[in-house]
Amino acid sequence: MNARRVLVVDDSTFMRIALRRIIESEGAMTVVGEARNGREAVTLARDLKPDIITMDVEMPEFDGLEAMKQIIAANRPAPIMIMVSGHTQSGTEATIKALSLGAVDFVSKSSSFAAEDLGHVDSELKEKLRYWANQPAPLPPRVRVQPATALQSTDTKPLLQPRTPRGQVDLVVVAVSTGGPQMLGSFLANAAPLGAPMVIAQHMPPKFTTSLASLLANETRLNVREGTHRMALPPGSVTIIPGGGDGIVARSAAGFELRLTTHDALVHPCGDLLFETAAMVARHPVGVILTGMGSDGTKGALQLLRRRSPVLVQAPKTCVVSGMPTAAIEAGVASEALPPDGIGQRLVLWTGAGYTPKTELAETL
């Protein structure tokens, strides 16, 4: 495979030098240009046709969000966009907006350029570059290929294990990672009105989930909020576990509440932990595994399987990154694979007061 061509965009000379060294140390990538601001980035993207762009979010005059919009609009196929974001409020808000509009991922940095911060950027950016260097540019969510109606393994054993709730669903738990901000708005819009609380474990560092919850609340006009310790989880609410930590669901006098905690996991918030506690405390829970790298959610889904509770996964062909849904399908813990709008519609049906198992059994794959 030819070396992937990368354009580096950052208003800091120091960061451009550091990012070039990080990128070119991977061997499979070469930096073909450097831009000091968004205007230069738009011009160089047109002239150099890079495969990947690392885009600083906060730049004077012409920021990374505006540059990303223009680059995606003017280039087909659009380059893979990885945002490099600071921890300021404006930086996190712009990053979440960029992810919702087509950026595939982001790397967070501080403004101090301390050695430990560069080490974090080095390891995090390399991991993301290794993945995207071997991937084509993702299609925009609206034109992704719809999935086949059934998935089979090579030995003809069904990979999906059809299950429906044995009663009206009282809790929905969601695990999602890379690509989540692009599709969560549409997913939530199709999941309304929801007759049960929903709790989302979206892999993100601290502070970014505050901006994500605000964006989704504005987009959907639903009760989307970032969770706090012992926050009540009423039916119809959508609660995002704060980034960088973990959350579990517990019983309360009024129904359910969120409890914030820490867990020995590779990713945070951890979907496996959320699923495992849902299986313990809810009468009729449903798990949902959406787009993302890795396999988070699969281990926790096994506990839902033991309760005979459904686990809906996003159809791999509709994902920005299909790792998490595919892992659940291959492990035999998924009950159905659907596009995001189909999952949302299924949740509306299952959480509705009129749902009965007899009605739904006829619709199972």
Express each pLDDT in 75-105 by its tens digit: 888 999 999 988 788 889 999 999 999 999 9
Q: Which is the catalytic residue, given 10, 51, 100, 203?
A: 203
Tell me how far apart the alpha carbons of residues 96 and 187 are, in angstroms, rounded to a whole number: 16
Is the separation of the CB atoms in 108 and 85 below 8 Å?
A: yes
Q: Are residues 191 and 324 in the same domain?
A: yes
Q: What was the pLDDT predicted at 111?
A: 56
pLDDT band of 114, cuts 50, 70, 90: low
Q: Are residues 279 and 211 in the same domain?
A: yes
**Residue 350 predicted with pLDDT over 90:** yes
pLDDT band of 117, cuts 50, 70, 90: low
In a domain, residue 165? The reply is: no
C-alpha to C-alpha distances, 331 to 149, 199, 293, 302, 335, nearest whole angstrom: 19, 23, 16, 9, 11
Q: Are residues 197 and 93 in the same domain?
A: no
C-alpha to C-alpha distances, 333 to 151, 184, 235, 344, 355, nearest whole angstrom: 13, 22, 26, 19, 23
**Residue 151 predicted with pLDDT over 80:** no
- 246: part of which helix (H) or strand (E)? strand 246-252
Start-to-end CA distance of the chain, whole Å, equals 40
Is the separation of the CB atoms in 241 and 247 below 8 Å?
A: yes
Residues 6+ apart with CB under 8 A from 275: 173, 175, 287, 297, 299, 300, 301, 303, 304
Q: Which is the catalytic residue, given 11, 51, 272, 296?
A: 296
Q: Are residues 224 and 355 in the same domain?
A: yes
Per-residue b or e along 91-112, where b marks 16 or more CB atoms closer than 10 Å to that residue's CB: bbbbbbbbbbebbbbbbbbeee
Q: Are residues 196 and 270 in the same domain?
A: yes
**Residue 169 predicted with pLDDT over 90:** yes
The residue that leads in pLDDT, 289 or 132, is 289
Q: Are residues 176 and 136 in the same domain?
A: no
Q: What was the pLDDT predicted at 232?
A: 98
Percentage of residues in the chain with pLDDT exceeding 70? 89
Q: Note if the pTM is more than 0.85.
A: yes
CATH number, domain containing residue 94: 3.40.50.2300
Q: What was the pLDDT predicted at 28?
A: 85
Q: Which is the catalytic residue, given 85, 100, 108, 177?
A: 177
Q: How many structural domains comprise the chain?
A: 2
Tell me how far apart the alpha carbons of residues 198 and 194 are, in angstroms, rounded to a whole number: 8
Domain extent for 128: 4-140
Count CB-CB contacts under 10 A for residue 148. Answer: 11
**Residue 150 predicted with pLDDT over 60:** no
Q: Are residues 191 and 270 in the same domain?
A: yes
- Mean pLDDT is lowest, of 29-33, 183-187, 360-364, for 360-364
Q: Are residues 116 and 178 in the same domain?
A: no
Active site residue 177: yes
Q: Are residues 354 and 261 in the same domain?
A: yes
pLDDT band of 158, cuts 50, 70, 90: low
pLDDT band of 137, cuts 50, 70, 90: low
Q: What was the pLDDT predicted at 223?
A: 96
The residue that leads in pLDDT, 15 or 2, is 15
- Once rounded to an integer, what is the mean pLDDT over residues 188-194? 96
Q: Are residues 94 and 50 in the same domain?
A: yes
Q: Are residues 104 and 217 in the same domain?
A: no
Q: What is the pLDDT of residues 285-332, one digit of tens each?
A: 999 999 999 999 999 999 999 999 999 999 999 999 999 999 999 999
Q: What was the pLDDT predicted at 130?
A: 86
The residue that leads in pLDDT, 115 or 99, is 99
Mean pLDDT of the chain: 89
In a domain, residue 281? The reply is: yes
Q: What is the pLDDT of residues 195-222, one digit of tens each?
A: 999 999 999 999 999 999 999 999 999 9
Q: What is the pLDDT of residues 214-252, one digit of tens each?
A: 999 999 999 999 999 999 999 999 999 999 999 999 999
Q: What was the pLDDT predicted at 358?
A: 61
Active site residue 112: no
Q: Provide the token pair at 158.
A: 């069904």
- Once rounded to an integer, what is the mean pLDDT over residues 126-133? 87
Active site residue 252: no
- Once rounded to an integer, what is the mean pLDDT over residues 36-65? 94
Provide the residue type at 14 as one letter.
F
